[in-house]
């Protein structure tokens, strides 16, 4: 990258920019610098992500981030320390874009390194993002990720919950900080509300809210892998996470690859369970994301 900051990429559907992908943000190290999507918009123009909010400055739109990667904080903010609580520590790493493998209007793919505070590589990643228009009021984001551990050591992925915090705080993984001008709500096919949804393993999860500019929107998420759980918040802030280590650490064995594929339907307006179910059912089965990043 020759010392120059990489310009954001744009995901376009026709002439409409539905998402901007920030590759190399100029952030305080404590905010967990990483590539992120913001703003993400409905086809009607409503912004449905938030970034650098005052309540949690390290929430960066839609991104992949984990608070404990072999002891390195790649989420941002204070680190949860067992028997101590949240503590500011000099343990923040960075998730760095290293090179493009594909760059087009509707699809981008690149390689990344998850690094500790000393610049050592914890994980390498291949990632692909694609946008698809499905109807005048709905488009879908597909994000495929392949995280590979070094050949000589395993990598442990943890969360505040696995480090002793009570209350279902198992966040860390593919996280979406949603925009909200007012109240938000979450539901699955058989549960409603933060308390019922948080920690569940439902096949899909929907979040409804009012975005920046006043438009109503719905986001429908899929992508739980083996052992993953939904982390959901609506009371303190609106957010949804495919959580890798909700109640126990996840381990990537030495030399192995952890695959993930996350889909988000982005809709204008508020929908019900029946339409959310139909949207997910109408999508072909998710294919092996091993080709993420080309």
Strand duo 121-135 + 138-148: pairing: antiparallel
Question: What pLDDT is stored for residue 214 in this prediction?
Answer: 86
pTM above 0.85, yes or no: yes
For the chain, how far is it from start to end, CA to CA, in angstroms? 19
Domain ranges within the chain, ordered by starting residue: 9-291
134: phi then psi, degrees, rounded to nearest 5: -115, -30
Confidence band, pLDDT 50/70/90 cuts, at residue 6: confident
Q: Which of 77, 289, 43 is nearest to 175 (CA)?
A: 77
Question: What pLDDT is stored for residue 286 in this prediction?
Answer: 54
Chain length of the chain: 294
Question: What pLDDT is stored for residue 285 in this prediction?
Answer: 65
Model confidence at 125: pLDDT above 60: yes
Confidence band, pLDDT 50/70/90 cuts, at residue 293: very low
Residues 220 and 133: their CA atoms lie apart, in Å, by: 15
Model confidence at 290: pLDDT above 90: no
Q: Which of 24, 262, 243 is nearest to 143 (CA)?
A: 262
Question: What pLDDT is stored for residue 219 in this prediction?
Answer: 98
Question: What pLDDT is stored for residue 179 in this prediction?
Answer: 95
Question: What pLDDT is stored for residue 294 in this prediction?
Answer: 37
Model confidence at 291: pLDDT above 70: no
Model confidence at 176: pLDDT above 60: yes
> Residues 72-76: what's their mean pLDDT?
98
Confidence band, pLDDT 50/70/90 cuts, at residue 234: very high
Residues 206 and 185: their CA atoms lie apart, in Å, by: 8
> Residues 271-289: what's their mean pLDDT?
82
Bridge partners (DSSP) of residue 63 are: 175
Residues 188 and 54: their CA atoms lie apart, in Å, by: 29
Strand duo 94-103 + 85-87: pairing: unpaired
Confidence band, pLDDT 50/70/90 cuts, at residue 19: very high
Question: What pLDDT is stored for residue 3 in this prediction?
Answer: 60
């Amino acid at each position: 990258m020759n010392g120059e900051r990489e310009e954001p990429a744009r995901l376009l559907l026709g002439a409409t920019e539905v998402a901007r992908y920030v590759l190399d943000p100029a952030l305080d190290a404590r905010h967990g610098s990483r590539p992120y999507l913001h703003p993400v918009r409905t086809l009607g123009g409503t912004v449905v992500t938030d970034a650098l909010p005052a309540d949690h400055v390290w929430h960066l739109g839609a991104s992949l981030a984990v608070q404990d990667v072999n002891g390195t904080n790649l989420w941002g903010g204070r680190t949860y320390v067992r028997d101590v609580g949240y503590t500011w520590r000099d343990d923040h790493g960075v998730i760095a874009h290293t090179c493009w493998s594909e760059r087009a209007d509707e699809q981008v793919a690149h390689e990344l390194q998850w690094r500790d505070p000393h610049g050592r590589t914890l994980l390498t990643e291949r990632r692909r993002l694609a946008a698809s228009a499905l109807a005048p009021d709905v488009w879908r984001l597909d994000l495929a990720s392949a995280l590979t551990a070094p050949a000589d050591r395993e990598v442990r992925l943890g969360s505040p919950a696995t480090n002793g915090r009570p209350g279902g705080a198992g966040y860390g993984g593919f996280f979406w900080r949603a925009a909200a001008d007012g109240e938000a709500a979450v539901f699955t096919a058989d549960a409603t509300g933060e308390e019922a949804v948080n920690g569940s393993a439902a096949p899909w999860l929907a979040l409804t809210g009012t975005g920046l500019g006043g438009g109503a929107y719905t986001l429908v998420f899929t992508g739980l892998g083996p052992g993953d759980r939904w982390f959901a918040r609506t009371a303190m802030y609106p957010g949804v996470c495919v959580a890798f280590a909700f109640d126990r650490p996840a381990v990537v064995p030495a030399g192995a690859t952890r695959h993930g594929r996350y889909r988000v339907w982005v809709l204008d307006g508020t929908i019900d369970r029946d339409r959310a179910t139909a949207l997910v059912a109408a999508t072909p089965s998710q294919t092996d994301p091993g080709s993420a990043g080309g």
